[in-house]
Amino acid sequence: MNPEAFLADLERKPEMLRALADFLDAGSPWPSVAPTRVVMIGMGSSRYAAGVVATRLRAAGIDACAEYASLERGTPAGSGVLAVGISAGGSTEETIEALAKHRGSSDTVALTNRVGASIERAADSVVPMLAGDEDGGVACRSFQHTLVSLMVLEAALTGGTVASVADVVRRTAAATEDLLDRRDAWLPGVADLLGEGSATFAVAPAERLASAEQGALMFREGPRRTADACEAGDWLHVDVYLTKPLDYRALVFAGSRFDAAIMAWMRDRGARVVAVGRDVGDADVVVRYRHDDEPQVALLTEVLIAELVAARWWTARGDA
């Protein structure tokens, strides 16, 4: 793991997104299936991304779930089940083992960024993430490309089109470029504010919970900072208690109908807040970017703010 290489990985996001959009112009890489149940299996970032898309599929009336690959007893294999094993590096032992339990009974797909990886042996077919090598040792572009790949599957199962996903990816590239180009204006203040307390918390709506989960992971993985994630509505029942004893620092990915209630507690308890995507009122800093009013672009873009903060902290820390 290397902080300078991690930053370089982040800076290549627009380039790799546009290449992915070009690839999708040729059509869906997913096999043609009509499952009665979809189970997406992974650990860490892979499961975060799967959780968001599983929620979207259920909202469309499709039986879908995202499972920890480490479950002792997961969704049973069987006819009509589409099992998707997600592993950026293609060697996650828990995911390979869980996917292999479905092989021969379910339709199995490996979603990976590493062609020829071990996970392919547990799958009937392979879908490439096409995120390129991540030299920093952190799953950053592959997290973003996992979301895109699963959105293509969602489109196939819900009557959408690959072309519409490719359009979102191109707007995401523009949004990502906008944040990178203007980072000197917003990043130092955001990094300082979020880093001054003893811990950093990330909050996001359920529909984009992966942004908070991945953001908190980035704070832990590189700079080794104490960090956690919470869903916006659940925050009022779970994390609100921490605003009283702690010097509470929060990165709020805005857009939940609970934002106002969250900010009322933050204001009353003297918490410090960076809001992303819109002005939620009383936030100390608001970070906006191109196309941030589009939920799908936000889902694919906003975690970059946490990643760039993590890269800055990690570089300042001076080790891996």
If we measure between CA atoms, which residue out of 159, 260, 256 comes closest to residue 207?
Answer: 256
CATH number of 182-317: 3.40.50.10490
Q: What's the pLDDT score for residue 255? A: 97
**What confidence tens digit (pLDDT) does each residue in 14-54 have?**
999 999 999 999 999 999 999 999 999 999 999 999 999 99
Is the CB of residue 258 less than 8 Å from the CB of residue 236? yes
Q: What value does the mean pLDDT take over residues 97-117?
A: 97
Residue 208 has pLDDT above 60, yes or no: yes
User: Could you tell me the sign of the dihedral formed by the alpha carbons of 258, 40, 47, 130, in that order?
Assistant: negative
**What confidence tens digit (pLDDT) does each residue in 88-104 have?**
999 999 999 999 999 99
**What confidence tens digit (pLDDT) does each residue in 284-320 have?**
999 999 999 999 999 999 999 999 999 999 999 876 5
List the domain boundaries for the chain: 3-160, 182-317
Distances (CA, A) of 10 to 151, 197, 231, 308: 21, 25, 25, 8
Query: Which amino acid does the sequence have at 55?
Result: T
**What confidence tens digit (pLDDT) does each residue in 117-129 have?**
999 999 999 999 9
Domains 3-160 and 182-317 share a fold: yes
The rounded distance, in Å, linking the Cα atoms of 195 and 45 is 23
If we measure between CA atoms, which residue out of 131, 113, 153, 129 comes closest to residue 32?
Answer: 153
Q: What value does the mean pLDDT take over residues 195-208?
A: 96
| Number of alpha carbons in the 13 Å side-chain half-sphere of residue 231 | 12
Q: What is the mean pLDDT of the chain?
A: 97
**What confidence tens digit (pLDDT) does each residue in 69-82 have?**
999 999 999 999 99
**% of residues, the chain, pLDDT over 70:** 99
Is the pTM value of this prediction over 0.95? yes
Q: Is CATH 3.30.530.20 the right assignment for the domain spanning 3-160?
A: no
**What confidence tens digit (pLDDT) does each residue in 133-177 have?**
999 999 999 999 999 999 999 999 999 999 999 999 999 999 999
The rounded distance, in Å, linking the Cα atoms of 113 and 151 is 16
For 293, counting Cβ atoms within 10 Å of its Cβ (0-12 exposed, 13-18 middle, 19+ buried), the class is exposed
Q: What's the pLDDT score for residue 319? A: 62
Q: What's the pLDDT score for residue 317? A: 83
If we measure between CA atoms, which residue out of 160, 246, 147, 248 comes closest to residue 202?
Answer: 248
